[in-house]
Amino acid sequence: MDKDRTVFEQGLVAVKGNQIIAVTDGKDVENYKAKTTIDAEGDIVMPGLINTHTHVSMTVFRSLAEDVPDRQYRYIFPLEKKLVSRDMVRIGAQLGNVEMLKGGVTTYADMYYFEDEVARTVDKIGMRAVLGQTVIIFPVADAANAEEGIQYALNFIEEYKDHPRITPAFAPHAPYTNSTEILQKVTELSLQHNVPVMIHLAESDREIEAIAERSGGKSPVAYMADIGALTPNLVAAHVIYVDDNDIALLKKHDVGIAHNMRANIKSAKGVSPAMKMQQQGLRIGLGTDGPMSGNTLSTIDEFNQVAKVHKLVNKDRAAMPPIKVIEMATIGAARALHMEDTIGSLEKGKLADIIVIDTKAPNMVPVYNPYSALVYSAYATNVKHTIVDGNMLMEDRNMLTVDETAIREEALAFADKVRKTVIESGEIIQ
Amino acid sequence: MDKDRTVFEQGLVAVKGNQIIAVTDGKDVENYKAKTTIDAEGDIVMPGLINTHTHVSMTVFRSLAEDVPDRQYRYIFPLEKKLVSRDMVRIGAQLGNVEMLKGGVTTYADMYYFEDEVARTVDKIGMRAVLGQTVIIFPVADAANAEEGIQYALNFIEEYKDHPRITPAFAPHAPYTNSTEILQKVTELSLQHNVPVMIHLAESDREIEAIAERSGGKSPVAYMADIGALTPNLVAAHVIYVDDNDIALLKKHDVGIAHNMRANIKSAKGVSPAMKMQQQGLRIGLGTDGPMSGNTLSTIDEFNQVAKVHKLVNKDRAAMPPIKVIEMATIGAARALHMEDTIGSLEKGKLADIIVIDTKAPNMVPVYNPYSALVYSAYATNVKHTIVDGNMLMEDRNMLTVDETAIREEALAFADKVRKTVIESGEIIQ
């Protein structure tokens, strides 16, 4: 995954410290002396995956209240009001981090509460992340209102602004759950502090109606452009309900896009025109959405559906070929987060975020074309090793920097609390 | 998965020989003395999965010539003409069998050539299968014409009619690749020998046109009804292009249906009205299609897309809830193969085809609802143990009855032959 999309049948990747210093066909192997050598022996070596949109801590709510109408307002927001805490955020993030690393995700973009807790788990496990502190109009676990959310975010940004692997960010929930003034203030502060802004955009009927009412009939994207909230710092998740004019605005303002196919069709929202946005050169990458929406957190789980649902809706079996999916999972996702200068490909000078995919699992035999094999056949569990910032974090499917069993047990104990709190009381019917 | 869809939070399944003799809440555990006890310790115990449609031997062609127009006639038929042999069928089936058992499939329905070779691999590994010998109008590897295909099938049926785990069958490829006379002859012979008939039906534009021309404008299903080829012995794969009249005919004649979502949308063919057929009580189960089409062979890989694409096309997030998907993977699939009296559920008197799903993998934590967890979160690789006919065939992901490494190496050697034959010559551009 370099500029020319080179595939080496045999090759080597040389790493020094946290950087890639060479990617070659391996004929010059004698020129390198390594402390550690990983023999990938026929497996696929590729850039670490970048998950451009999730809510990692929600792993502890996974498989609750599936497929119910008006799920966000009837179940998710009340559940969060009752159960989100520093502990919940930490416990859920720990589990989600393990799941992502085991599924080949080396960098992720998160939007949630108590993001300083998420940051501590990311720091400890050794991943890379863009962490967005939520700003929302109603009272939530870590703020009484949007102003308090902004203040929380500013403190968080101050604490983590110099972290080598963590990028702190603002995460206004959505246009319809914030006022124009708050959206403008967040935009201004993000430019001032040079940090990303992550938002849910053009995602739901409710949003379309609320924004049309607020703006005299404008689309969410056009409204955001009007109020000055479309900037190169913005990463917009979902982007389903957009027309050509909206897409032009997103391109003009160099906005990053997170495409979350599995979550979007699960809620029957529709299919984002991601293919068109990719073809027009927009910054677009894959995301899984949170585990109450997309359920699992490796973008490998998106590959099959992204390739196929675009074929279905475009009535064209040649649409969204495997290489385009892999681009959205790697360099495209890096571009969506404006991080393409440092991650998203295996090239000299880039950070050493590298994964190795096992090609010996029966579902991966044989590999005539690595892109097709990855997109149509691979499971997240086919990831064999995950390296972030030059450090091996998962080797032969074993976590090296955290205790997976202890993390699972803490998550299961929290799930028991969820059962006692909202399931046994009948608030959520399973 | 019994008649009442009972879920035991704690429970036991008692097996004697190849039969289930009890399924209880476990309070009567003292009543049973077992030679072997498997402690499923919080994992999910469920009926083995039934893959109602595949071409197992095509694993050796997986990821070749993806997404090209007119793929079947331009690539697949010529490829098969050149490379299908007894060896290829055996090598591909061995690999696919391992993949299926590791993905929780205990019974599968196959349509291909040299099915006696497939049968030998199934016999050896210990799975259950319905194996359909192809009947097709043009010359293929094991027959010069359809009559020869019928003769091959008759010999195969004679050889395997008394096998305890293998059901031999006819597999006329499709209505448009056989004459009316051949379809009628196969139907008659199937009733006479009391064996299934498997066919691709209502799958492609080419078929619709050819059958309309042959029959004075009839749909493939109406044509099959007219010529007397719809019988309770028939299992029809795909069934995409059907209207209410066709569905009524399929129901009236008690035809089984194999629903292959991932393969169908990959080729942009469209979405089968599987939900409607299931709601109307038709015999319908999940299939993966062959590995050049669906690519992987566990129906777990279908779950997520089946649940979600039906929501998308019906614009209803409540459509195709997880329990309905699990029904199509188990008892529904057994009904599609007319085997619901012996497999497809965990009930006293049924054959002991049982799988255990690991709930400790991070993607499966926590499980608030087993159906949601299975459909929205599980990977095929989360299957921990697979038991067929009372015998443990995979334990802790290790194959017990075959040598997985030797099977993989034989497949990789065959893949090298494919590379030399059709890729290096430029016949197939990868």
pLDDT digits (tens, 9 = 90+) for B27-81: 999 999 999 999 998 999 999 999 999 999 999 999 998 999 888 888 898 899 9
pLDDT tens for residues A176-230? 999 999 999 999 999 999 999 999 999 999 999 999 999 999 999 999 999 999 9
Give the pLDDT score at A308. 98
Residue of B nearest to A93 (CA): B362
- Cα torsion B274, B275, B276, B281: sign: positive
pLDDT tens for residues A120-142? 999 999 999 999 999 999 999 99
Q: What is the largest CA-CA distance in chain B?
A: 67
Distance from CA of B163 to the nearest CA of A (A): 27
Distance from CA of B415 to the nearest CA of A (A): 6
Mean pLDDT of chain B: 96
Distance from CA of B246 to the nearest CA of A (A): 23
Give the pLDDT score at B384. 98
Residue of A nearest to B266 (CA): A308
Mutation choice for A interface testing from B64, B76, B368, B422 by most A CBs within 10 A: B368
Distance from CA of B330 to the nearest CA of A (A): 21
Give the pLDDT score at A3. 85
From the list A245, A161, A223, A222, the residue with the least C-alpha distance to A196 is A161
Contact between residue B364 and residue A291 where contact means Cβ atoms under 8 Å apart: no
The DSSP bridge pattern shows strands B256-259 and B234-238 to be: parallel
Residue of A nearest to B62 (CA): A366
With respect to CATH, is domain B12-46+347-399 assigned 2.60.40.4070? no
Residue of B nearest to A307 (CA): B266
Mutation choice for B interface testing from A9, A51, A66, A91 by most B CBs within 10 A: A66
A308 with B262: Cβ contact below 8 A: yes
Residue B200, beta-bridge partner list: B237
**Token pair listed for A68:** 């119910």
Mean pLDDT of chain A: 96
Is B374 an 8 Å CB contact of chain A? no
Contact between residue B21 and residue B15 where contact means Cβ atoms under 8 Å apart: yes
The DSSP bridge pattern shows strands A166-172 and B19-24 to be: unpaired
Which CATH number does A48-336 carry? 3.20.20.140
Give the pLDDT score at A149. 98
Mutation choice for B interface testing from A317, A320, A399 by most B CBs within 10 A: A317
Selecting from A63, A96, A360 the residue whose C-beta is nearest the C-beta of B368 gives A63
Give the pLDDT score at B109. 98
Distance from CA of B315 to the nearest CA of A (A): 5
Distance of alpha carbon B332 from alpha carbon B256, whole angstroms? 9
Mutation choice for B interface testing from A63, A98, A266 by most B CBs within 10 A: A63
The DSSP bridge pattern shows strands A234-238 and A256-259 to be: parallel
B268 with A415: Cβ contact below 8 A: no
Q: Which of residues 318-347 of B touch A (CB under 8 A)?
A: 318-319, 321-322
Tell me which long-range contacts A11-17 makes (C-beta under 8 A, separation of at least 24). A11/A45, A13/A45, A13/A346, A13/A354, A15/A352, A15/A354, A15/A387, A15/A390, A16/A390, A17/A352, A17/A390
How many other C-beta atoms are found inside a 10 Å radius of the C-beta of residue B369?
20
A376 with B301: Cβ contact below 8 A: no
Residue B382 has pLDDT above 80, yes or no: yes
Residues of chain A with pLDDT under 70: 429-430
Least confident of A124-133, B94-103, B212-221, B415-424: B415-424
A381 with B377: Cβ contact below 8 A: no
Give the pLDDT score at B70. 86
Give the pLDDT score at A429. 66
Give the pLDDT score at A96. 98
Distance from CA of A342 to the nearest CA of B (A): 29
Distance from CA of B410 to the nearest CA of A (A): 11
Give the pLDDT score at A195. 98
Question: A-chain residues within 8 Å CB-CB of B267?
Answer: 311, 317
Question: A-chain residues within 8 Å CB-CB of B368?
Answer: 62-64, 415, 418-419, 423, 430
Q: Say which residues have a Cβ less than 8 Å from residue A111's Cβ, sequence separation at least 6.
A: A53, A54, A55, A132, A134, A171, A173, A198, A200, A237
> What is the arithmetic mean of pLDDT over B326-331?
98
Selecting from A66, A309, A366 the residue whose C-beta is nearest the C-beta of B309 gives A309
Distance from CA of A46 to the nearest CA of B (A): 18
The DSSP bridge pattern shows strands A354-357 and A383-388 to be: antiparallel
Cα distances (angstroms) measured from residue A5 to each of A105, A323, A328: 20, 9, 13
Give the pLDDT score at B428. 73
Helix axes B180-193, B146-160, angle to 10 degrees: 10
Q: Is residue B429 very low, low, confident or very high in pLDDT (cuts 50, 70, 90)?
A: low
Interface size A-B, in CB pairs within 8 Å, comes to 198
> What is the arithmetic mean of pLDDT over B233-253?
98
From the list B296, B300, B290, the residue with the least C-alpha distance to B57 is B290
Give the pLDDT score at B427. 78
**Token pair listed for A255:** 């906005």
- The ipTM (two decimal places) reads 0.96
Q: Which of residues 239-278 of A touch B (CB under 8 A)?
A: 262, 265-268, 270-271
Mutation choice for B interface testing from A312, A324, A396 by most B CBs within 10 A: A312
Give the pLDDT score at B430. 64
B372 with A418: Cβ contact below 8 A: no
Q: Give the CA radius of gyration of chain B.
A: 21
pTM greater than the 0.80 cutoff: yes
* Domain definitions of chain A by residue range: 48-336
Distance from CA of B399 to the nearest CA of A (A): 12
Residue B3 has pLDDT above 90, yes or no: no
DSSP string, A406-422: HHHHHHHHHHHHHIIII
A63 with B312: Cβ contact below 8 A: no
Distance of alpha carbon B16 from alpha carbon B38, whole angstroms? 14
Percent above pLDDT 70 for chain B = 100
Distance of alpha carbon B404 from alpha carbon A399, whole angstroms? 26
> What is the arithmetic mean of pLDDT over B370-380?
98
